[in-house]
Structure 1
Amino acid sequence: MTEVFGIPLPALLGQLMLGLVNGSFYALLSLGLAVIFGMLHIINFAHGAMYMMGAMFTWIALEYLGLGYWWSLALVPVLVAVIGVVIERLLLRHIYKLDPLYGLLLTFGLALVFGGLFRYVFGAGGQPYSIPEQLTGAIDLGFMFLPKYRVWVIAASLSVCLLTWYAIEKTPLGAYLRAATENPKLTQAFGINVPLMVTLTYGFGVALAALAGVLAAP
């Protein structure tokens, strides 16, 4: 049997594939964090809490509201984005011109509040939910059986990352967002609603975190 660095090739390929799957979750999570930090210069310590919200709200939607997985996949990131918009409007908007440390402390406090609230209501144990029937089963790759759900996660994460890049770099809305964060006064002079662009940026960033939570939870 072929070995690489003393590791059987099938085992090595299997571990690389598992790393690719786990990396898909982290790619979405870090993409949202990068959007917020890169465009708003806020160190968003509450980002992990938004990831948790995505997973927990999906579990609530499936277990208590009877919504299917696909409906939850579409609606939960929007719900978390709305929560992010409220946070940006009520709290973050007042600290953009202050030392970045204030943003770090504020978002860290929000993370503690949300984490404590969900732990109090739902407990500290895991709350897994079933994957949709269409994504059950596995694909035989020869060196391992890769669950179809993991294939879906990789494809979905890659698609979202590419679409996000395209939206920010190649569309008029992306140009407005970049202009609003790089030179807000000049952008405002051209009639663009800078506060709205900033709010949309934060909402989109936390929606990506929620989407990662939805995909990672099963």
Structure 2
Amino acid sequence: MMFGISIQALLGQLLLGLINGSFYAVLSLGLAIIFGLLRLINFAHGAQYMMGAFVAWLLLNRVGVGYWWAILLAPILVGAFGVICERVLISKLYKLDHLYGLLLTFGIALVVQGLFRNQFGSSGLSYAVPAQLTGGANLGFMFVPYYRLWVIVVSLVVCLAVWLLIDRTKLGSYLRAATENPELVGAFGINVPLLITATYGLGVALAGFAGVLAAPIFSVNPNMGGDLIIIVFAVVVIGGMGSILGSVMTGYALGLVEGLTKVFYPEASSIVIFVVMIFILMLKPAGLFGKEI
């Protein structure tokens, strides 16, 4: 016992915090890519996360396509929606103040949520856990469903793979260079608008991927991205706006902090991330891994 808290309860909440942190990490990774490379605050990210869950549900219930295909197809379809939005709407605003992009993506989010709410209502829709991941493991201190362990593992793999793509490959170097000096990169024969569109599509696809992961755990409904995206924005700010690795690490860390708070002071668990954000910004305005401008 520690402070009247059992070790089993502590470990259990840490594991649950790691599961929440997995969603924070994947979503904040998508936001960090879009802001870090395009300098666009994508307020539609929560709606795109919701779209990923709904696409998985529609594929299963209207087309008969199960979870394993949905986890591949849904991010592609949601990413394609993002590409269309970027080409038709967002690309017109790159030379304007960042506020215009924020307002536009916020408007896109409202339209998307309104359309889904009108079509499906606000009550949640269930999405079954795939048969291969039913059941769970007894860890001694708690019984953990296999699906939640899968969420932790696949989130880590995806975050690591995307970070390596952006930070350690030639394509990633082209993406970073295209945002810093598009004229110079274009002079080498590289299609800069295509790179920018692909970058936004990748960030949106990550939101859709997180939505598919969330579908069997949370209720699939048009409002599912609203509250979560506020937390994810806080994660990105704490990690450092535009810092891809910082956002991922901060996402997992804050999930664990949230889990610890539920053990020692449950009443503060819903605000602890924002309290951390306030203190971090007071001490380091650029965030933990961000660069001072």
User: What's the counterpart of residue 64 of structure 1?
Assistant: 62
Instruction: Report the 3-state secondary structure (helix = DSSP H, G, I; strand = E; otherwise coil) of the residue aligned with 2:109.
Output: helix
User: Structure 2: how far apart are the matches of 1:214 and 1:104?
Assistant: 25
Question: How far off is 1:183 after superposition?
Answer: 1.1
User: What's the counterpart of residue 46 of structure 2?
Assistant: 48
Question: How far off is 1:9 after superposition?
Answer: 0.7
User: What's the counterpart of residue 202 of structure 2?
Assistant: 204
User: What's the counterpart of residue 111 of structure 2?
Assistant: 113
Instruction: Work out whether 1:179 is the aligned partner of 2:177.
Output: yes
User: What's the counterpart of residue 99 of structure 1?
Assistant: 97
Unaligned residue ranges in structure 1 (runs of 5+): none
Q: CA RMSD in A?
A: 0.7
Question: How far off is 1:184 after superposition?
Answer: 0.7
User: What's the counterpart of residue 159 of structure 1?
Assistant: 157
User: What's the counterpart of residue 27 of structure 1?
Assistant: 25
User: Structure 1: how far apart are the matches of 2:9 and 2:135?
Assistant: 21
User: Structure 2: how far apart are the matches of 1:178 and 1:172?
Assistant: 10
Amino acid across the alignment from 2:113: G
Instruction: Report the 3-state secondary structure (helix = DSSP H, G, I; strand = E; otherwise coil) of the residue aligned with 2:137.
Output: strand
2:9 to 8, 11, 18: 11
User: Structure 2: how far apart are the matches of 1:25 and 1:124?
Assistant: 22
User: Structure 2: how far apart are the matches of 1:184 and 1:162?
Assistant: 27
User: Structure 1: how far apart are the matches of 2:59 and 2:175?
Assistant: 32
User: Structure 2: how far apart are the matches of 1:164 and 1:4?
Assistant: 39
Q: Deviations over 1:76-130 (max 9, x none)?
A: 1000111000000000100001011100110000000000000000000111210
Q: Deviations over 1:35-68 (max 9, x none)?
A: 0011100010000010000000100111111001
Amino acid across the alignment from 2:10: L
Question: How far off is 1:4 after superposition?
Answer: 2.5
- Greater relative CO (CA pairs within 8 A, separation 6+): 1
Question: How far off is 1:7 after superposition?
Answer: 1.1
User: What's the counterpart of residue 187 of structure 2?
Assistant: 189
Instruction: Report the 3-state secondary structure (helix = DSSP H, G, I; strand = E; otherwise coil) of the residue aligned with 1:43.
Output: coil
User: What's the counterpart of residue 35 of structure 2?
Assistant: 37
Aligned length: 216
Question: How far off is 1:6 after superposition?
Answer: 2.4
Amino acid across the alignment from 2:191: N
Q: Deviations over 1:162-203 (max 9, x none)?
A: 001110111111111111111111111111110000000000
TM-score, normalization: structure 2? 0.73
Identity %: 65
User: Structure 1: how far apart are the matches of 2:44 and 2:103?
Assistant: 10
Instruction: Report the 3-state secondary structure (helix = DSSP H, G, I; strand = E; otherwise coil) of the residue aligned with 1:213.
Output: helix
Unaligned residue ranges in structure 2 (runs of 5+): 217-293
Question: How far off is 1:28 after superposition?
Answer: 0.5
